[in-house]
Amino acid sequence: MIPIRDTISSSTIPVVTYSIIGLNTILYLWQISMGADIDPFIYIYGFVPAKLTVPEISAYFSLSDMLFSTISYMFLHGGFWHFIGNMWFLYIFGDNVEEYLGTIRFVGFYLICGIASALLHFFLNPLSAIPTIGASGAIAGVMGAYFILYPKAKIFTLIPIIIIPWFVDIPAFIFLGFWFLMQFYNATGSGGASGIAWWAHVGGFIAGIVMVKLWGEISQPVVEDKLKALTARKTSPKLQNIHPKPVEHSLDLAGNIEITSLESISGTLKLVNIPWGFYTRLYNVKIPSGVKDGTQLRLAGMGRVGSYGVRGDMYLNVSIKNPTV
């Protein structure tokens, strides 16, 4: 299952999430440029439990080196798909968790989840001399927080059926709950021999649940209000899920589409996903400039199909999230 986007749009630009993605990208490009020198680099900055427990190995590392690796390991990756997968999941789930916690607290939250992930891996594999790298544990913490905060959100998901792409909306608690169960199953089963630190994923997810509950009770720093004002979004999401309802006594369908005040003035182009029955359809919808809150846009022939192939229309009600007075 590949998440495409969620239905909870954030009202601020997730600067920390984007910064983490940017830093990971720079370091990954640096990694692939190192060639044969990459192995000792990974051993130094990856998290290796044996650095703390095996005298023959720990003799080559200082205590500060060993402690630093509990952070540095989460900014390194083992390959292209490992890197892309982690960054995509962070992109999907990070913005909402960052908005809830605030920019400053999210930094600490992310790092603590990554450290907790490494610690669980350490306690269950204390003698392992294999370097653990990747942001998976920290991102699992973000997913655990999302699981608690937005269980009823829908995850627009791509499920490949052989060569046929099937798009479906899956409730977040099902998507993330299934993901967690798969990590736990692999950690306790034959997946443990795959070289993937499954327990680190499990530890990160649990840490995220615990942390978001604890930190949700802590008041935001005073500067957070200023940061939110600076990072407020000026546009609505490019891709939007439309859940249409039948119009009584007709073949027409009706739904809602969200835009911002700026977009209502300048006009915009949205990509909308309109699931109806078994099918899921993607369309480009042009929002004209000067549109008002409550305006209905008519999409001809995109309603239900009646007898003799007659089609109804789709009506989208424009909702301006922050209408100007």
Helix, strand, coil % over all residues of the chain, rounded to 5: 50, 20, 30
| Residue-wise pLDDT tens digits, 218-259 | 667 778 877 877 887 777 777 787 888 899 888 999 999 988
So what's the pLDDT on residue 325?
Answer: 41
So what's the pLDDT on residue 7?
Answer: 80
Task: Output b/e per residue, 94-104; b: 16+ Cβ within 10 A.
Answer: bbbbbbbbbbe
So what's the pLDDT on residue 178?
Answer: 95
Domain 2-230 CATH (choose: 1.10.3720.10, 3.40.50.1970, 3.40.640.10, 1.20.1540.10): 1.20.1540.10
So what's the pLDDT on residue 278?
Answer: 55
So what's the pLDDT on residue 203?
Answer: 93
284 — pLDDT class (breaks 50, 70, 90): confident
Section 89-93 average pLDDT: 96
Task: Output b/e per residue, 22-39; b: 16+ Cβ within 10 A.
Answer: eebeeebeebeeeeeeee
Return d(Cα 159, Cα 266) in angstroms, integer.
36
198 versus 147: the higher-pLDDT residue is: 147
Q: Average pLDDT, whole number, for the chain?
A: 87
175 — pLDDT class (breaks 50, 70, 90): very high
So what's the pLDDT on residue 80?
Answer: 92
Domain boundaries, the chain: 2-230, 239-320
Return d(Cα 65, Cα 72) in angstroms, integer.
10
| Residue-wise pLDDT tens digits, 261-279 | 888 888 999 888 777 655 6
Do 2-230 and 239-320 agree at the fold level?
no
219 versus 34: the higher-pLDDT residue is: 34
CATH class held by domain 239-320: mainly beta
In terms of average pLDDT, the best of 10-14, 25-29, 285-289 is 25-29
